[in-house]
């Protein structure tokens, strides 16, 4: 499985993470599936989200079923880009592929992608 996302979406993820520091940042990826590939089209800000330095939550009731969410992005400002048990719960609810950036600084080298089960997968910036 691969997570494919446009460069501008990836850069928006990192910018959101940097601007939210020292708190976590969360975004949702609408997109589509093409076989094993998860193709991200945009970044949506998680509705009514609130964050601190170790977690972020949002009002999932306000995510339309028609949004086509295929995954998520969030930052870990004080820990490695590895999913926590809370992350795995989120992953299981919102798509097949998920991206975590640790930092600062937030960069491609500090970012990792995971399946909804928390297994590492590759990601490609288009």
Number of domains the chain contains: 1
Distance CA 75, CA 15 (A): 11
Its pTM stands at 0.92
Q: Write out residues in the chain with pLDDT < 50, as ranges.
A: none
Q: What angle do CA 99, 32, 44 make, to 5 degrees?
A: 55
Distances (CA, A) of 122 to 23, 46, 111, 116: 26, 24, 11, 13
For the chain, give percent helix, strand, coil, nearest 5.
25, 40, 35
Q: What is the pLDDT of residues 43-65, one digit of tens each?
A: 998 876 778 777 777 777 666 66
Whichever domain contains 111, its CATH number is 3.40.140.10
β-pairing, 44-45 vs 120-125, is: unpaired
Give residue 53's domain range. Answer: 2-125
């Amino acid at each position: 499985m691969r997570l494919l996302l446009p460069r501008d979406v990836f850069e928006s993820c990192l910018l959101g993470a940097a601007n939210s520091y020292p708190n976590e940042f969360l975004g949702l990826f609408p997109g589509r599936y093409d076989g094993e590939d998860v193709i991200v089209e945009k970044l949506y800000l998680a509705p009514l989200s609130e964050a601190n330095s170790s977690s972020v939550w949002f009002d999932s009731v306000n995510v339309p079923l028609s949004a086509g969410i295929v995954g998520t992005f969030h930052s870990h400002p004080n820990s490695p880009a590895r999913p926590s048990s809370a992350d795995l719960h989120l992953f299981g609810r919102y798509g097949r592929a998920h991206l975590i950036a640790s930092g600062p600084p937030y960069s491609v080298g500090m970012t990792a992608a995971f399946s909804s089960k928390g297994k590492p997968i590759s990601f490609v910036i288009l």
